[in-house]
Structures are given as C-alpha cells and as structure tokens.
Amino acid sequence: MMSPTTKINSGVYQGILQAAYRGWSNRSLYGDYAILIQDNAPAHSSKRTHAYFERAKITNLAHLKEGISTWWKTFLTVEECRKYIRRVQKQMRKVIEQSGGPVYD
C-alpha cells in the first residue's frame, strides 16, 4: 500500500505494473491478457516506462487494438449505441445546468 502523498513517477509506476498488473493479467477474464489503459501522464509516457514495456513484452497498443476489435464485433449493437447516446445526452444536460461544472449521478 502506498501513502496518499506518494508521487507516481515512472519507477513507482513500473513497480505497480510488476507487482500487480503482470501477475493479474494472465489470470484475467480477458483470456491470456488484460487490457492496460493509460493516458499521457508523465509516468505512463516516459522513455523509462516505454523501455520497461519493451523489456517486459507488454504490448498495450496491440492489446488495445485487439480488444477494441473484439468489442466492436461482439458487443456493440444498435441498442447499445442508442443507450450510450442517451447517456451522453443526459450528462450534457447536467453539464449545461452546472454551467460547465462537474456533474454526478
């Protein structure tokens, strides 16, 4: 467990991946891999983290493409699209009511 004040730099992030993600990803509901989702946070996009991915053979872009393709072919129905569109419309009304502020369900 980390302190709430721990700064997640690339070394800490790599430790999290090593300790949690890599072991869990092989036992996931997604078959032989788990989908790793990242944003452009410095710890995610650093050269050290990219080098770690190469050494550890974590190919998140390939997993992402495969996951999107599977989801698109298997789960995305016309009704699911309608449901997502209705949800976005509902949330946008809330955003307007809050003058662009945060909204909660």
Q: Which pLDDT score, from 0 to 100, does residue 44 have?
A: 84
Q: Do the beta carbons of residue 49 and residue 43 sit within 8 Å?
A: yes
Q: Do the beta carbons of residue 24 and residue 9 sit within 8 Å?
A: no
pLDDT digits (tens, 9 = 90+) for 25-61: 555 555 555 566 778 888 888 899 888 877 876 665 6
Helix ranges restricted to H, the chain:
10-16, 22-25, 42-45, 47-56, 60-74, 78-97
pLDDT digits (tens, 9 = 90+) for 44-54: 888 998 888 77
Q: Do the beta carbons of residue 33 and residue 62 sit within 8 Å?
A: no
**Residue 37: C-alpha distances to residues 54, 77, 86, 89 (Å):** 16, 23, 25, 25
Q: Which residue reads 């989702």 in tokens? A: 37
Confidence of residue 96 (pLDDT cuts 50, 70, 90): very high
Long-range contacts of 77-86, Cβ-Cβ distance < 8 Å, separation of 24 or more: none
